[in-house]
Amino acid sequence: MPEKSAIIGLHEAGEGMIFSLESMLGRRGYREIVTVKTPLEMDEKCSTRDYNLYIMDVNLGFPNGYDFSCANRVYGRIKLKVDAGEIKFYPLAAFDDVVDAARRAGLPALSKRDFDERFEELLGPIERSQN
């Protein structure tokens, strides 16, 4: 089975939050986890390959704003695989009005609160070691 990979693009995440997210993903079988904080980094990392999982601020680079250009570029590149269930894509926002605006723009946005509450449902249970 190929190793699962993830990319995390959160502009205001502290090291503790990133470590926690990486740890939770690691326990779910993600072995390669890339983190970025800017649209440029996200574009660079996503232009060369696909990941199994994308978690990003829907407005990456524009905290509390309505610029979804980076999320639109990423989603446009992987949409067919997302629709086919081959890739998971979670563009997140802290505020409901930003989530609503992103959805109107065609992105499958979630609030960070909903993502946290549905984490196991969305990403699966912790993998048990196969000894």
At residue 29, the 3 state secondary structure works out as coil
What are the chain's domains? 4-38+48-123 (3.40.50.2300)
DSSP assigned state of 126:
P
Q: Which is nearest to 58 in space by CA: 3, 20, 100?
A: 100
Q: What pLDDT shows up at residue 16?
A: 76
- CB burial of 46-68 (b: ≥16 within 10 Å; e: otherwise) equals beeeebbbbbbbbbbbbeeeeeb
Q: What pLDDT shows up at residue 18?
A: 86
Per-residue pLDDT of the chain (131 residues; tens, 9 = 90+): 468 999 999 987 777 788 889 999 999 999 999 999 999 999 999 999 999 999 999 999 999 899 999 999 999 999 999 999 999 999 999 999 999 999 999 999 999 999 999 998 998 888 876 44
Helix (H) or strand (E) holding 119, with range, is helix 119-123
Q: What pLDDT shows up at residue 78?
A: 97
Beta-carbon neighbour count of residue 93 at 10 Å? 28
Q: Give dist(CA 97, CA 103) in Å, integer.
A: 10
pTM for the structure as a whole = 0.92
Q: What pLDDT shows up at residue 82?
A: 97
Q: What pLDDT shows up at residue 129?
A: 61
Looking at 12-106, which runs of residues are DSSP E strands? Answer: 30-36, 53-57, 88-93
Q: What pLDDT shows up at residue 26?
A: 92
Q: What pLDDT shows up at residue 1?
A: 45
